[in-house]
Chains A and B, each alone.
Chain A
Amino acid sequence: MSPLAVRRIVLGIATPVIALVMAFAVVWIILEISGFDGWGVFHNMFTTGTEDRYVARAINRAVPYFFAGCAVAVGFRMALFNIGVEGQYRIAGLFAAWLGAQVNLPAVFEISLIVLTSVVVGAAAAALPAVLKVTRNVNEVVSTIMLNFIYGGVGTWLLITYLRDKHAHTVSTQTKALPHSAYFPAADKVLNGIGFQVPKTDPITGLLFVAIVLGILLHLLIKRTRFGFELRATGLNPVAAAANGVNAKAMVIKGMVLSGALAGFVGLPELLSNTHMFVGETFPQQLGFTGIAVALLGRNSPLGIGLGALLFGFLDVTTGSLQLSFNPKLKIPNEMALVMQGSILLAVVITYEVVRRLELRWQGRAVARAAERLAGETGGEPGEPATSTGSAGGER
């Protein structure tokens, strides 16, 4: 193995660690300034975070984060910014919950129907900004943000006027409850079978396995298929991709539709494992934006996104547990989770960029050295290749 390859592997492991250390340093400073006990908070988070029930809760929170992260990452891979996952999963969840409650099929068909509806509606919702971009040149960042507001408002309106369960005597507005055949089996049996101890109070959603399978499929799709290759090529160099016969417009539509389809999964844990209905007031919000952070954290790879999602889930549940603390030095406000997630995000983004630059410079130097050696062997002019790679080496 060449020294460059070794260094790259070391960097690959070290980078996320450095980024996390930086992020936690920032959070520690913020905590200390606000008068909390920084070390105490971290220590407490770690001890509670490794308790079984908190691990289970963190996983349950991580599953939708993972779906949202994947949805965003597909777009990012081709430099397409789907900021609209937020609106897409909400409207998809609404329609899936409504349609699923209209029928009562055997479990396999019932669940398939709900999943399919959610995926199709999510894909359709994402297709609109894609069409606007391709035909009318509307920037997808702006259009998806506007559509977040629009889908949210239209969803609320549809729920209140048409899709609501009119016989429910509750303060909240909700769709009819899904039949029992739509309850997704919990992962507990399988996990207990392979040696984990899932606490009885906090069952883990079976969608965890769906997430894992989906992650593997997505990895294969991006790395092993022609579509994935074209996707990455468009993201890396759209001009070169177009010159090599990639249809840029078709790629925008396909990428966006795939992203929206994945967004359709985000609301499923709530519908299939949690409340089993779409409650207007409590259906999870902001998952689309968390998904952006998770995708960036995981460098757009399914494995990374999974780890990022777990980290965010961990932060959620452990800061939540600190609320119950009797020690005022540890009782940090709930909002601290958001601040931590934000700082981690910025630290990670900047660290990765710096490391990428460093790597480029090392590559440039290695190439320059190899060229010099080659020139020495053939007796050529060593200055010539060294200067031509000099610009790559000097890139910073």
Chain B
Amino acid sequence: MTATVVERPAPRAEQAPDWRGRLRRGLLYALLVFVLLSLVRQITGATDLTSAGTLSAALGLSVPIGMAALGGLFSERAGVVNIGLEGMMIFGTWFTGWAGYQWGPWLGVVFGVLGGALFGLVHAVATVTFGVDHVISGVAINIIALGATRYLSSQLFVGKPGGGVNQSPRVDDVKKVSVPWLSSGYDALGRVEHHRWFLVSDLAGLVRGLTGQLSLLTLIALALLPLSYLLLWRTNLGLRIRSVGENPYAAESLGVPVYSVKYLAVTLSGALAGLGGAFLVVVYGGNYVENQTGGRGYIGLAAMIFGNWHPAGLAAGSGLFGFFDALRLRQGTLAVHALLLFVTIVMGLLLLRAAWKRQWVQGVGFAVIGGLAAWWYFATDSVPTVLVPLVPYVATLLVLAMSAKRLRPPAADGLPFRRGGGG
């Protein structure tokens, strides 16, 4: 050892986050979006843009996406990329359908979670123990999920009442609750919403959508978001999970059982994706149907990336995608058409900001997208029915293109780790 110690620049550490500033900015953006939506609703008459029905559906549809995203969060915080979320979610839906029609929705949910966890475990075995490339293992799980569920359905659902090769018999829903007086019974908010006042009615719709007809499963899922935050950032286990994702060799040298932590995180990841699938079956579908997930596992992954590998961010991302998903279900063609005006306005604002900051290249991009949206909005009366289902996917792509540049994944995300391989 020589006496001179070279002063090395500190490794890119996570900057002490300015939480209050970020929160304020996030709320400001949310408020802006809300006012814009209200405005667009007023102009176009697409009432479902902010109705309680849409927002209630949006909340419901964000739950499966959010659960997949949360699953992705645990896995990637532990350094394992999990593209297999979609497959785990598919298994979640199938197992929920299988157990749910026989023993009731709650046991169905339990089996859905276990089914997802089982394939989370498979992913962990392949990536952690055998060192298979994470994306390859994930893609393999997705391919297997498609074949295996179809095979299992043909064996176990055919011949049952309401069952078939691509669906299970009926599964009952779990209990739904509402806030009395405000959203049910007298329904004060419903009355306000009915008047279509600018902003006021929209706000009433928002609150009513979030307080009326809430499934107990939704409440559980919502509770999981802050719980995950507390687990990951306020407990020893959470610190271990994150340290494994940032620098597994350093963690190993400090005595963290890296393999076990990764196994735990990836299995948990599968369980959460399975819960998302269970939610789709119990609350949305009423039974298991093939292709029920419709790529929500992938969208969840995108929501997590958009949310910068953080529960609050992924909640915002899931809410956004859930909203777009809900819009296409209600008043489909009309609401999506109104959405084009919304996109035009947002692009206009971004163009102004880009011009202010003299970012000409981005400005051109915003202008092109905004121009196309405006042209489409004014040249047509509604969006073709075939294109309406594409909204969540286009939104995912656009939002990622806007935001992916400033993101920071865990440092060892997706890298192979060998016990004792740190030299």
Residues of A within 8 A of B (CB): 34, 81, 83, 132, 136-139, 141-143, 145-147, 149-150, 153-154, 156-157, 160-161, 289, 292-293, 296, 333, 335-339, 341-343, 345-346, 349-350, 353-354, 357, 391, 394-396
Give the contacting residue for B126; candidates A147, A153, A343, A346; CB below 8 A.
A346
Which residues from chain B contact A333 at a C-beta distance below 8 Å? 151, 154-155
Nearest CB of B to A341, in Å: 7
Given A142-B396, A154-B387, A349-B136, A338-B404 contact (CB < 8 Å): no
Residues of B within 8 A of A (CB): 83, 126, 130-132, 135-137, 139-140, 142-144, 146-148, 150-151, 154-155, 165, 295, 298-299, 301-302, 305, 384, 386-387, 389-390, 393-394, 396-397, 400-402, 404-405, 407, 418, 420-421, 423
Which residues from chain B contact A289 at a C-beta distance below 8 Å? 142-143
- Cα separation A68 to B9 with both chains bound (whole Å): 47
Which residues from chain A contact B139 at a C-beta distance below 8 Å? 81, 83, 292
Q: Determine which residue in B154, B397, B404, B420 has the highest number of CB atoms from chain A within 10 A of its CB, and name it.
A: B397
Nearest CB of A to B418, in Å: 6
Question: Cβ of B132 and Cβ of A150 under 8 Å apart?
Answer: no
Name the CB-closest residue of B to A128.
B397
Q: Is the contact region of chain B dominated by helix, strand, or loop, or is it mixed?
A: helix
Name the CB-closest residue of B to A357.
B131
Question: Cβ of B151 and Cβ of A336 under 8 Å apart?
Answer: yes
Question: Cβ of A153 and Cβ of B143 under 8 Å apart?
Answer: no
Question: Cβ of B389 and Cβ of A153 under 8 Å apart?
Answer: yes
Q: Determine which residue in A160, A333, A336, A346 has the highest number of CB atoms from chain B within 10 A of its CB, and name it.
A: A346
Which residues from chain B contact A292 at a C-beta distance below 8 Å? 139, 143
Question: Cβ of A145 and Cβ of B386 under 8 Å apart?
Answer: no
Which residues from chain B contact A147 at a C-beta distance below 8 Å? 393, 397
- Cα separation A353 to B143 with both chains bound (whole Å): 19
Name the CB-closest residue of B to A391.
B423
Which residues from chain A contact B401 at a C-beta distance below 8 Å? 132, 136, 138
Q: Determine which residue in A83, A136, A157, A394 has the highest number of CB atoms from chain B within 10 A of its CB, and name it.
A: A136
- Cα separation A343 to B141 with both chains bound (whole Å): 10
Give the contacting residue for A395; candidates B151, B155, B165, B418; CB below 8 A.
B418
Which residues from chain B contact A132 at a C-beta distance below 8 Å? 397, 400-401
Name the CB-closest residue of B to A147.
B397
Return 27 A-B CB contacts under 8 Å, by A number: A83-B139, A132-B397, A136-B400, A137-B404, A137-B405, A138-B400, A142-B301, A142-B302, A142-B396, A143-B397, A146-B298, A147-B393, A149-B390, A150-B393, A153-B386, A153-B389, A154-B390, A157-B386, A161-B384, A296-B136, A337-B147, A339-B147, A342-B148, A346-B140, A349-B136, A349-B140, A353-B132
Which residues from chain B contact A338 at a C-beta distance below 8 Å? 143, 146-148, 150-151
